[in-house]
Structure 1
Amino acid sequence: MLRTVITGVSGRMGSTLLRLARSTPGLTVVGATSRTGSPAVGQDAGTAARLSDPLGLAVLDDLGKAIDAGAQVVIDFTSAEASVEHARLCAVRGVPMVIGSTGFSPDTRSEVASASMSIPIVLAPNTSVGVNVVIQVAAELARVLGEGFDVEVLETHHNKKKDAPSGTALRLAEVLAQSLGRTSDDLVFARKGWLGARAPQEIGVQALRGGDVVGEHTVFFFGEGERVELTHRATSRDQFAKGALRAANWVVAQRPGIYDMADVLGLKRTA
């Protein structure tokens, strides 16, 4: 049995992870955490995650104490700042991680990279199996279609999401730029005013926010006389949790380093 700690169990993703982890063969949850000061601290994890029955496991505000229950992996969908602190602790304790938080700055990402020198970490802005296949396909489409197409990325999320563009949209833009031989300087995140004609090398990345949209990402390839659209729509958070649990089973057998879902799914071997 893979002994797992789930952080942020009272949040949207934490509660989804806890619910699905309970029914995942070969996996047991030995720890659950929430931020200091959260009303969830001290509650039964099942109650805090709004599950149908208690788990007999108290929510802690100390990840170290949760790990002390014999954890073999930590799954973290909290915030970039919290994930950095958790990564530092996991590095000291020698416990692998799956991080699904988004909104990392270059500095916070660098700190996760430092922790990965001691432990294996899957760092993925989106753990959905489907969306990671879409990212791979988008890169191949860009390569095949080439310079004759204008490329734009549009993402839509619920009105509670704090970062924009989404981590998935940024990852899409990154792989598109790589496929087309472009750089981050070619990414355009806003257009307003008298800009003149669109530069051929631009890759536009735009964000919409509203309602309870779980997540939608579309890559547009605009050509002369034709248009190709590649879309992934998430209708629940379950697929993110399923992918994260799959990553947790995978990461415990890896060497220290930073990995992504393409590594977990073997997509890099088939590219």
Structure 2
Amino acid sequence: MALRIGILGQSGRMGQLLAEEIAAAGATLAGGIGRDGDAPALFAASDVVIDFTHAATAERHAGLAAASKTPLILGTSGLSLAQEATVAEAARTIPVVYAASFAPGVSLLFALAERMGAALPPEQYDAEIVEMHHRQKVDAPSGTAIGLGRAVARGRGRTLEEVGLESGRDGHTGPRATGPIGFAALRGGQVVGEHSLLFTAGSEQITISHRSFDRRVYATGAVRAAHWVMAQPPGLYDMKHVIGMA
């Protein structure tokens, strides 16, 4: 029997791509709703649900997934620490794949960011993250940018909250502090997604980057995760687990 995949947020651009990728992967679209649809009915009709909606709905959807014992693929960005904690609690009951980006290349970027964070001490190398997205994006910095910052901080043995986040510098800010990770968010046109991580010291600079040309890469990755998660026990996973890097 074909895997039945439900879509939360089907009316958006990502939802339409997800429907196409579900069909291409040989799965069945169990249903799709917008933000005001019947989410409990969708979970009941699905083997797994993909959520690309809004941070404000993440906690409710995680709760519905846990209550219905339906695995969840969560691609919503901009979650607060409290919202992420709710998702993690749901993952005690069901398998959840929660990723800042479902592009395989971004998972590789995260792995490199963590290794570079460990190798390049903050006393000598300032870490800065620059990202650009389409003009319709509502959150900044992007979830992928935050994921990069967390990877760098993790490599340095700390959390992003502990090392600090400098975003939106403006005016007479004084010299750059040692340790915090800087973020710059650019918005314009229909840029799908561009992220660069820079480590800059007094005598050198290292830059690693990722650029998405087509939103479909996220849909393909999410459908891949939906198939993968069906064989997993309850737990909180991300794309590095899906592509075999964990």
**Shorter-chain TM band:** over 0.9
Q: Distance in 2 between matches of 1:10 and 1:266?
A: 31
Structure 1's unaligned 5+ residue stretches are 37-60
Q: Deviation of residue 141 (structure 1)?
A: 2.1
> Which residue of structure 1 lines up, in the alignment, with residue 17 of structure 2?
16
> Which residue of structure 1 lines up, in the alignment, with residue 63 of structure 2?
88
Query: SS state of the match for residue 267, structure 1?
Result: coil
2:145 to 148, 154, 169: 169
Q: Deviation of residue 158 (structure 1)?
A: 0.8
> Which residue of structure 1 lines up, in the alignment, with residue 203 of structure 2?
225
> Which residue of structure 2 lines up, in the alignment, with residue 149 of structure 1?
125
CA contact (8 A) 2:117 2:151 kept: no
Q: Distance in 2 between matches of 1:68 and 1:93?
A: 7
> Which residue of structure 2 lines up, in the alignment, with residue 254 of structure 1?
232
What is the 5 A alignment of 1:58-207? 61-69=37-45, 71-147=46-122, 148-183=124-159, 184-185=161-162, 186-207=164-185
Q: Distance in 2 between matches of 1:112 and 1:89?
A: 11
Query: SS state of the match for residue 255, structure 1?
Result: coil
1:240-270 deviations in whole A, cap 9, x for unaligned? 01111111111111111211112222222xx
Query: Which has the larger Rg?
Result: 1
Q: Which is worse superposed, 235-244 or 113-122?
A: 113-122
Query: SS state of the match for residue 188, structure 1?
Result: strand
Q: Distance in 2 between matches of 1:259 and 1:68?
A: 22
Q: Distance in 1 between matches of 2:3 and 2:181?
A: 42
1:152-172 deviations in whole A, cap 9, x for unaligned? 011111111111111111111
1:179-222 deviations in whole A, cap 9, x for unaligned? 12344242212322333322221210111111111111000111
What is the 5 A alignment of 1:36-55? 36=36
RMSD of aligned residue pairs (Cα, Å): 1.5
CA contact (8 A) 2:97 2:238 kept: yes
Q: Deviation of residue 109 (structure 1)?
A: 1.6
Query: SS state of the match for residue 120, structure 2?
Result: helix
Q: Distance in 2 between matches of 1:243 and 1:256?
A: 20
Q: TM-score, normalised by structure 1?
A: 0.84
Structure 2's unaligned 5+ residue stretches are none
Q: Deviation of residue 95 (structure 1)?
A: 0.5
Query: SS state of the match for residue 31, structure 1?
Result: strand
Q: TM-score, normalised by structure 2?
A: 0.92
> Which residue of structure 2 lines up, in the alignment, with residue 5 of structure 1?
6
Identity across aligned pairs (percent)? 41
CA contact (8 A) 1:182 1:201 kept: no
Query: Which structure's relative contact order is higher, taking Cα pairs within 8 Å and 6+ residues apart?
Result: 2
Q: Distance in 1 between matches of 2:58 and 2:157?
A: 32
Q: Which is worse superposed, 91-100 or 147-156?
A: 147-156
Q: Which is worse superposed, 27-36 or 225-234?
A: 27-36
> Which residue of structure 2 lines up, in the alignment, with residue 53 of structure 1?
none
1:170 maps to a residue whose letter is I
Q: Distance in 1 between matches of 2:81 and 2:114?
A: 23
Q: Distance in 1 between matches of 2:35 and 2:198?
A: 39
Q: Distance in 2 between matches of 1:204 and 1:195?
A: 13
1:164 maps to a residue whose letter is A
Q: Which is worse superposed, 175-184 or 215-224?
A: 175-184
Q: Distance in 1 between matches of 2:238 and 2:99?
A: 5
